[in-house]
Structure 1
Amino acid sequence: MPRPRSLTDHQLASAALAVIDREGLSALSMRAVAQELGMSTMGVYRYVQDREDLERLVVERVLSEVDTGAPDSGAPWRDQVEVMARRLRDTVGAHPEAIPLTVVHRHRSPAGLRWSETVLAILTTAGITGERRVIALRALLGYLIGAIQLEHLGPLAGPGTTAITRLPPGEFPHMTQTARTARTMDGDREFLGGLRLLLDGLDG
């Protein structure tokens, strides 16, 4: 019998992420990861207890690639928050099928917690504290998670927007007009436009 392979958390997470990227989140299983690694399913159980453990490793694998260092402290606080938002969007957006896992397991991810800690420090320096700071962080996370999913799973340039432009304008005048405008927008304009509207509210 060959000696069992020794795997690191990073190798397991990378294999699980490869399955998710290629086949979707619903395809993630112990068996699928074992096949990706070229080993038996029982061999995977030497390292993780169940799918939830795999999910946790995937989230840390994805979020560990986010730069969580503090942006230029001399820049306005809004610009600093925008830098942090872009970093999260760019990294997590590379794995859109894994986004739901970041919602469920982000509190267990040291990398995800470091991102939030940096953002909270920026908000605190800007004078946003107490309950307002709680709401600000939750609003930012809610916007980022939703915006990233929409950008990749339902983009403005996608067939959904085109279908809306073909609705009866007499019945849906605002929807059809808005959809025609939406088709001219790229992902950056959509993402940053929404983020800046949110920051306007925090700045008020």
Structure 2
Amino acid sequence: MCRMARPRKPLLSRDRIVAAALALIDDEGLGALSTRRLAAELGVSGPSLYNHFATKEAILDAVADTVVSQVDLSMFGDGRDWRTALLEWGRSYRAALTDHPRIVPYLAVGPGLRPAGLRMADAVFGGMVEAGWPPAQATRIGALMRYFVTGSALGSFAAGFVGDASAYDPADYPHLGQAHLLAAHRRQVDEGAFETGLRALVDGLAQQYAALGAARGPAPSA
């Protein structure tokens, strides 16, 4: 008589752990992630996670790096000028973070030893230095872009306003007569604000870049 094979659980892997951890963070936030909760979500015992990750922080690092790995870096080193590269990278960077806003506070502390984060830092720094920025200033540009993008992805300005017009008494807030409409148009407001800020930032850097070139003087003739 043939005996039916028992169904096998999918093998536990780093990718499965990271995907489950990211889904949990997306749904409930960083505070919801624990090795016990994650093991329960995966249908395994807690200690089995440690065959793949030594600590909860190592899992968080892998989750954060998975998000950063979605950022397009192709604009650096392919001939595009540094202004275009910063604009396109900034948009891709924000898109990756806004898909997973609840991991952003963890990402905001810097790349640590996360490979995708380090590749991004290397690409940005290298692209700026190759464009003629001094190394110190190239470092500052990478940092200020991180501050700007992560800050924009932490939350929605527009969603912070309630949809009740009576909440904004003109006697108290004479200029907020349309504030109750902001939340309903959060995408247009937030994306428009990001684009305005990004362009202003790059335009300001372009002025510094021009001043840097003027200070260097004309290139010597051959």
**TM-score bracket relative to the smaller structure:** 0.7 to 0.9
CA distance in 2, matches of 1:115, 1:109: 10
Question: Could you say which residue in structure 2 is the equivalent of 1:91?
Answer: 96
RMSD: 3.0
Output the CA distance in 2 between the equivalents of 1:181 and 1:121. 43
Residues 33 and 105 of structure 1, relative CA distance in 2, 3 Å threshold: farther
Higher normalized helix content (fraction of residues): 1
Q: Say which is worse superposed, 65-74 or 34-43, in terms of deviation.
A: 65-74
Report what 1:129 is aligned to: 134
Is 1:77 matched with 2:78? no
Residue number among 193, 200, 204 corresponding to 2:203 in the alignment:
200
1:57 pairs with 2:59? no
From the superposition, tell whether residues 202 and 178 of structure 1 become closer, same or farther in structure 2 (CA, over 3 Å): farther
Q: 1:149 aligns with which of 135, 154, 157?
A: 154
Matched, 1:113 2:118: yes
For structure 2, the residue ranges without an aligned partner over 5 or more in a row are: 1-7, 208-222
Q: 2:194 aligns with which of 181, 185, 191?
A: 191
Change (3 A) 1:92 1:81: same
Could you tell me which residue of structure 1 aligns to residue 16 of structure 2? 11
Q: Is the 8 A contact 1:13 1:57 kept in 2?
A: yes
Kindly indicate whether residue 56 of structure 2 is the aligned counterpart of residue 66 of structure 1.
no
Partner Cα distance (1:178, 1:119) in 2: 40
CA distance in 2: counterparts of 1:54 and 1:117, whole angstroms: 23
1:130 to partner: Cα distance: 3.2
Please report the TM-score for the alignment, with normalisation by the length of structure 1. 0.81
Q: Which runs of 5+ in 1 are unaligned?
A: none
Structure 1 residues 162 and 5: alpha-carbon distance in aligned structure 2, compared to 1, 3 A threshold: closer
Aligned position for 2:109: 104
How many angstroms does 1:49 deviate by? Answer: 2.6
Q: Check conservation: 2:82, 2:131, Cα contact below 8 A.
A: yes
Instruction: Give the letter aligned to residue 75 of structure 1.
Output: R
Report the Cα offset of residue 92 of structure 1. Answer: 2.0
Kindly indicate whether the alpha-carbon contact (under 8 Å) linking 1:66 and 1:111 is maintained by their aligned counterparts in 2: no
Superimposed CA distance per residue, residues 137-169 of structure 1 (whole angstroms, 9 cap, x where no aligned partner): 11110000001113xxx242x242657994455
Give TM-score, length-normalised by structure 2: 0.75
1:33 aligned onto 2:48: no
1:75 and 1:105 map into 2 onto residues whose CA distance is: 26
Q: CA deviation at 1:28?
A: 0.3
- Report which stretch shifted further, 178-187 or 136-145: 178-187
Report if the CA contact (8 A) 1:59-1:101 is conserved.
Answer: yes
Secondary structure in 1 aligned to 2:51? coil
**Residues 197 and 28 of structure 1: is their aligned pair in 2 closer, same or farther, counting only changes over 3 Å?**
same
The DSSP-based 3-state class of the residue aligned with 2:142 is: helix
Kindly state the Cα deviation for residue 6 of structure 1 after the two structures are TM-superposed. Answer: 4.9
CA 1:181–1:17: 2 relative to 1, 3 Å: closer
Amino acid at match of 1:191: F
Q: 1:31 to 1:199 in 2, by over 3 A?
A: same
Say which SS state the counterpart of residue 104 (structure 1) adopts: coil
Q: Distance in 2 between matches of 1:179 and 1:139?
A: 30
Question: Number of paired residues?
Answer: 197
| Aligned counterparts of 1:94 and 1:37: Cα–Cα separation in 2 | 23
CA distance in 2, matches of 1:47, 1:4: 17
Residue 47 of structure 2 is matched in structure 1 by 42
